[in-house]
Amino acid sequence: MSIHYNRIAGQNLERLAALSDGIFAVAATLLVLDLHTPASAAIHSEGDLWQALMKIAPSLLTYLMSFLTLGIFWVGQQTQLNHFKQSNRYLTWIHLAFLLVVTLMPFSTSLLSTFITYRLALVAYWLTILLLGVLLFVSWRYAQHAKLLKDDMPAGLLAANERRIIIAQSLYAFGILLCLFNTYVSISFIVLVQLNYAIAPRIGLLSRL
């Protein structure tokens, strides 16, 4: 009896999780390489140092935002992997596409920190977040369709996670619209959304987002 390659390829969840961890770790490390300490030759007083730090503030802000982004989506992907009983070729490629977008995060972060007052740079950054959310949503839907979810998965978990993705992406979309007024206002809103998802405060409506 012949075995079709596509039926046996990409089934190992542990290898997928290990690859994901490695790529997320590299992406997070690359983020910090865009931060540079002020040149010592140009610093002659506390005032000079303060002005130099103010100049790299945009890079610090985008670094914080991107680190939060990677952390949130790493947790989101790990949540999915923990509830899959196995993978297959198609689900693996969905997550490889997800990881492809993760590798773009250092570039979009550098672009935004360099052109932080430009709306186009912020939109490019937002598209990275959008693609990450869309691919996680597609992954949930495909895993359900292909019957790759664990049998003992709590009732309502799939719907809750899909709802979380939709709400988060809606908030990010609202945040990007704020750049019509000011890119710093837009970025500040996005960071607040990310802090909410990272910290998950037990505050009424916020705890259910």
The reported pLDDT for the residue numbered 11 is 64
Closest by CA to 177, choosing from 126, 117, 106, 103, is: 126
Name the band, by pLDDT with cuts 50, 70 and 90, for residue 86.
confident
Name the band, by pLDDT with cuts 50, 70 and 90, for residue 3.
very low
With a cut of 90, say whether residue 7 has pLDDT above it: no
**Contact (CB, 8 A) for 129 and 172:** yes
**Contact (CB, 8 A) for 139 and 80:** yes
**pLDDT digits 0-9 by tens, 11-45:** 678 888 899 999 999 999 998 887 777 666 667 67
Give the HSE-up count for residue 32: Cα atoms under 13 Å, Cβ half-sphere.
4
Which tokens is 173 given? 């979309």
**pLDDT digits 0-9 by tens, 40-53:** 666 767 776 777 67
Give the end-to-end CA distance of the chain in Å, rounded to a whole number.
50
**pLDDT digits 0-9 by tens, 143-196:** 888 888 888 777 778 888 888 899 999 999 999 999 888 999 999 999 999 988
Which tokens is 137 given? 């949503």
The reported pLDDT for the residue numbered 1 is 39
Which tokens is 28 given? 């997070």
Which tokens is 183 given? 């890119």
For residues 206 and 137, the model is more confident at: 137
Stretch 57-71: mean pLDDT: 88
